[in-house]
Amino acid sequence: MAYLSALLFAFSLTFSGIDVTYLSDPACDVRPDLMGSYFLGKDQVVLCVDNIEREQVDPDVVLHHELLHAVHENFGVKGSFFNEKQLAKRVSQQLDFEEVLSVVMSYPEEELDQELEVRVLSNQMSEWHMALVIIVSRLVELLRLALGS
């Protein structure tokens, strides 16, 4: 089953055109708290391997986190998929105060809801879920492009 999950996940990345780089980016050296980045419009994820290892963070969670930013872009969603009440409930239940404070202090206001949502969801999604969400979001993106919206 794990093999099929990994295969579907790899297919989803190929289908979506997202390039995942496991090499350190110069931004990783400047910001030791940075675990990864998704580059809007480039379909590229960079994982800060040294930072991930030093902080002992699960690289799959970081990858899922960055890929969820790609999903938002594919759907054309600037904020959160959740409404304010739903997001507040999930954040209060699943993120600790220090993490929420860190996000509030580090991100511009217009990016807060998406960042909090991505942090909540990235811990909950299996490779199967991520693969399906990536594939569906890519199909939605292609449809949006075809319709010119």
Q: What is the per-residue DSSP string for 4-54?
A: HHHHHHHHHHHHHT-EEE-SPPHHHHH-TT--EEEETTTTEEEE-HHHHHH
Say how far apart CA 35 and CA 19 lie, in whole Å. Answer: 16
In tens digits, what is the pLDDT along the chain, a chain of 149 residues?
566 777 888 888 888 888 888 776 677 888 888 899 998 888 899 899 999 999 999 988 999 999 999 999 999 999 999 999 999 999 999 999 999 999 999 999 999 999 999 999 998 888 899 999 999 999 999 999 999 86
Distances (CA, A) of 146 to 40, 84, 140: 20, 31, 10
Residues making up the chain, counted from first to last: 149
